[in-house]
Amino acid sequence: MLFYLIAVFVLMLDQATKWIVRTHMELGEMLPSWTPHLRFVYYENSGAAFSSFQGFGKYFAIVAVIFVAAIFYYRRQGKIRGPLLEAASGFLVGGAIGNAIDRALYHQVTDFLVFGNHGGIMNLADLAINAGGLLILIYLLVDHFRHRATRRLL
């Protein structure tokens, strides 16, 4: 259930924020920010991360569909279990679907979050994908140390 709650929440929040940006900002417009570490700039990315592979966004939509199908397959097989992996996969799926919708409908992804002076520009789906990856890393570390402690006891 955690998987579905997170995936749907991420997807809805991502699509809502992108709609707000597309309907209330001009392309390239920057909103004033209360902090120098976060800026809001409307950008359309027809490629992948860090604006690489410009014009090939539609292919990343296909990759996202395959990725989401793989997550559902492994969930069905019982290989994604426990709250940490459920949450991680929920963030990953919600983010992947959010960006895939943009690519399918608009042939580009709406980005609007810039962190720091030299950071790339992102959206909430990207943040969710990063959060999912971080949770998987935490799971792998916890699992490693759990198995290591178990081996010591034997």
Give the pair of three-digit tokens for residue 9: 């929440």
Whether 126 is a known active-site residue: answer yes
Which one, of 92, 90, 88, 97, lies nearest residue 1 by Cα? 90
For residue 111, list its beta bridge partners: 43
Cα end-to-end distance, the chain, whole Å: 35
Q: Provide the residue count of the chain.
A: 154
Parallel, antiparallel, or unpaired: how do β-strands 109-115 and 30-31 relate? unpaired
Q: What distance in Å separates the CA atoms of residue 47 and residue 57, rounded to the nearest whole number?
A: 5
115 alpha-carbon distance from chain centroid: 16
Residue in 14, 102, 111, 143 annotated catalytic? 111
The rounded distance, in Å, linking the Cα atoms of 72 and 152 is 35
Catalytic residue of the set 14, 102, 126, 143: 126
DSSP label at residue 49? G
**Which amino acids are annotated catalytic?**
111, 126
